Structure 1
Amino acid sequence: MRLLKILLVLVVLVVIVGVACLWRLPADLGYRYGEKYFGPLALTGVRGTIWDGHADGVSLFGNDLGELDWTALKKPLLRGDVVTDIRIKGGDIDIGGLLTRRRDGAVSAEGLRFSVPASRFEPLFDGKLQLLGTISGVLDEATWWNAGLSNASGTAHWSDVGAVGEVEAHFTDILAEFTSQPDGSVSGKVRDDGRGAIAVLGHFVLRPPMLDGEAILSARNGDPQTIETLRHIGEPLPDGTSRVVLRGRMLHLP
Structure 2
Amino acid sequence: MVKSDLHNPEVSDNDVMPKHVAIIMDGNGRWAQQKGKLRTFGHKAGVDAVRASVRYARTNGIQSLTLFAFSSENWNRPEEEVGVLMDLFSLVLNSEVKRMKKNGVRLKVIGDTSKFDDKLVAKIEKAEALTAENSDLVLNIAANYGGRWDIVNACKSIVADVSDKTISPHEITEELFSKHVSTEGLPELDLLIRTGGEHRISNFLLWQCAYAELYFSQTLWPDFDEAEFDKATACFTSRQRRFGLTGEQVTNESQD
TM-score bracket relative to the smaller structure: under 0.3
Q: Structure with the greater relative contact order (CA < 8 A, sep ≥ 6): 1 or 2?
A: 2
- Please state which structure has a larger fraction of its residues in strand: 1
- Please state which structure has a larger fraction of its residues in helix: 2
Which has more radius of gyration?
1
